[in-house]
Chains A and B, each alone.
Chain A
Amino acid sequence: MIEVRNLTKRYGSTVAVDDLSFDVQPGIVTGFLGPNGAGKSTTMRMILGLDRPTAGSALVFGRPYASAVAPLREVGALIDAKDVHGGRSARNHLLALAQSNGLPASRVGEVLDMVGLGAVAKRRIKTFSLGMSQRLGIAAAMLGDPRVLLFDEPVNGLDPEGILWVRNFMKALAKDGRTVLVSSHLMSEMANTADHLVVIGRGKLIADLATDEFIARSSSNAVRVKSPQQQQLLDALSAVHAEVAPLDGHLEVRGLTCAEVGDLAAANRITIHELFEDRASLEEAFMELTRDSVEYHAPAALNQEGAGR
């Protein structure tokens, strides 16, 4: 498991990571969420000892990662798939990594087959597509069969088939009892993969909670319902003081669950054609949570500010 305690990283006057503390538990996938520039990668680099914290500590199994006897046995990491020498073949790249930790050379073929790159083992890495590079990065992370895995935006640049593969792969690793920390800036991706969420913004901890809890909190107050008797349904919902508004031929209901809306409609003998939780609101809830901590807003926001003056 990973313990991050009061971790701080300053670059001059810029604070990239600000007094951050959280734990990452084994047996589940922990999503590490935050807008671009929130400090996710910097935190991961500090866990790996690549960057030196200004203050605080990051421990893996109770000690700094750098003190491990065979580091690749403890932690497998995919920070940036492009962090390789493109002139080397996939096989030689992994062979060098295996040798550095005293791992048997036979592991190289095993992990290449595991990620489906066995056929291109001898090709130079610079000829790989981004998706293939990501797979190679995952192969490198799995070389030492580690108990802890860190993945920084692993689905970036992957096609849908690749995304599904990575998602299932991470879930299987966690099911295996391993500790899995995956960063992303997309809430929707994490809702599908992570069991637990650590959300940061501007280097500060914003939320540390189970994914189910986050979903319950954010989407329970937005339910979409479609009915041929829209007016009747609207009246019925208003009668129980639900917050309701027409939206794209649906009604958007806040303050009630799907079950409550369904029950209410049945009690009033109102036909319902569609009834669902508004999953889009998950992304909105995440944006709401991190709004104050987004590093660079789109220019539209600036224009509005200007117009207001």
Chain B
Amino acid sequence: MSAVAERPAVLPIGPGGPSSTLAGVTRSEFTKLRSVRSTKWTIFVLVAATIGFGVLFCFLTNHYWPKASASDKADFDATSTSFGGLMFGQLAIAVLGVLVISSEYSTGGIRTSLTAVPNRMRFLAAKVISFSGVAGVAGLIIAFAAFFAGQPFFAKRGIGASLSDDGVLRAVFGAALYVVVSGLFGLAVGLLLRHSAGAITVVVAFMFVLPLVVNAFPGDWGKAVIRYFTSNAGQQVTFVHQSGNHLGPWLGFGVYCIWAAVPLVIGALLLHRRDA
């Protein structure tokens, strides 16, 4: 029972000793992210399903091309057809974003985390950075894989896109960025609500349900709401052919960033003020 006698040599104190830095906390948050099963599963499903649906969209679009109307053909965007699975992907990454924060609260781990890192803004920044990194890598894999897997279906007809075409490379990188910001939107809502089920409900409402509702708004006022509403605005950066009704690619993406930033800033203020 002399466990303490076997205690290893003491750690150095003072200059040169260990310290809690943003880089260290980010590494710590990455370890947390990769060491739970839900992350691996969510990322796997996210990547596989988004690419899979994109391929399916390309195959079907090509298959029914002879029957497509002239206006459909005029609006056809080969690049964004590859990204047809992003609807699903944005939900998966947003749910993962919610869980990154809400699981801390549901397990009580937040108290252990904030005891180790009492600087809460450093804690949050590290979470945002590590999660963005993971989402960014997943987003890049999705964007490039979906693009290159989808375009060959259009090759025979000569309607496919190439990375060297105007706006295509921007749309492919845009798809990766869209994945990252969708995830951060989830993280921000999770931070604000601290509750998995509630936060996921809000995310689904804002990404899927409300955009459908506002799409039905009549009049000019309705059009403005449609243009600026979450994913409606954010998706523009993944399109090569913009439709007149919508914001430009970067302006739309910027608006989407604001949708994520507002709950993130409010959540950060609450994290700073509330008891853990």
Contacts and interface: CB of A to CB of B under 8 A. Distances in A.
Nearest to B25: A100
Contacts of A92: 31-32, 35
A144 B11 CA distance: 7
Q: How many A residues are at the interface, by size bracket? A: 35 or more
Contacts of B126: 100
A132 interface: no
A72 B275 contact: no
A50 B115 contact: yes
B11 A145 contact: yes
Interface in B101-138: 103-104, 107-119, 126
A164 B1 contact: yes
B118 A49 contact: yes
B70 interface: no
Interface in A44-80: 45, 48-52, 65-66, 68-73, 75, 77, 79-80
Given A83-B112, A101-B20, A115 B28 contact: no
B67 interface: no
B27 A99 contact: yes
Interface stretch (A23-31, A168-176, A230-238, A265-273): A168-176
Interface in A74-94: 75, 77, 79-80, 82-89, 92-93
Nearest to B35: A92
B13 A73 contact: yes
B40 to A, nearest CB: 11
Contacts of B107: 83-86
B60 interface: no
Contact of A97 (B3, B7, B116): B116
Interface string B10-22: 1101000111110
Interface in B181-221: none
A290 to B, nearest CB: 26
Nearest to A101: B20
Contacts of B5: 172
B11 A73 contact: yes
Contacts of A48: 115, 118
A194 to B, nearest CB: 17
A201 B181 CA distance: 49
Given A69-B20, A71-B117, A85-B103, A99 B28 contact: yes
B35 A88 contact: yes
Given A52-B273, A83-B111, A87-B37, A114 B6 contact: yes
A110 interface: yes
A77 B115 contact: yes
Given A92-B35, A101-B20, A102-B24, A79 B115 contact: yes
A72 B112 contact: no
B3 A165 contact: yes
Interface string A142-176: 10110000000000000000001100110011001
Given A45-B275, A82-B108, A95 B31 contact: yes
Contacts of B114: 49-50
A140 B28 CA distance: 14
A116 interface: yes
Which of A85, A87, A92, A104 is packed against the most chain B CB atoms within 10 Å? A85
Contacts of A85: 32, 36, 103-104, 107, 109
Nearest to B15: A69
Which of A70, A75, A84, A142 is packed against the most chain B CB atoms within 10 Å? A70
Nearest to B1: A168
Interface in B25-55: 25, 27-29, 31-32, 35-38
A303 B68 CA distance: 83
Contacts of B273: 52
A102 B18 CA distance: 5
Contacts of B21: 102
A84 B104 CA distance: 8
A107 B21 CA distance: 18
B244 interface: no
Nearest to A142: B7
B24 A100 contact: yes
A66 B275 contact: no
B36 A101 contact: no
Top 8 A-B pairs, shortest CB-CB distance: A172-B4, A100-B28, A92-B35, A66-B118, A83-B108, A102-B18, A99-B28, A51-B275
Interface of A: 45, 48-52, 65-66, 68-73, 75, 77, 79-80, 82-89, 92-93, 95-104, 107, 110, 113-116, 140, 142, 144-145, 164-165, 168-169, 172-173, 176
Interface of B: 1-8, 10-11, 13, 17-21, 24-25, 27-29, 31-32, 35-38, 103-104, 107-119, 126, 273, 275-276
Given A99-B25, A101-B20, 5 more contacts: A73-B18, A107-B8, A110-B8, A142-B7, A168-B2
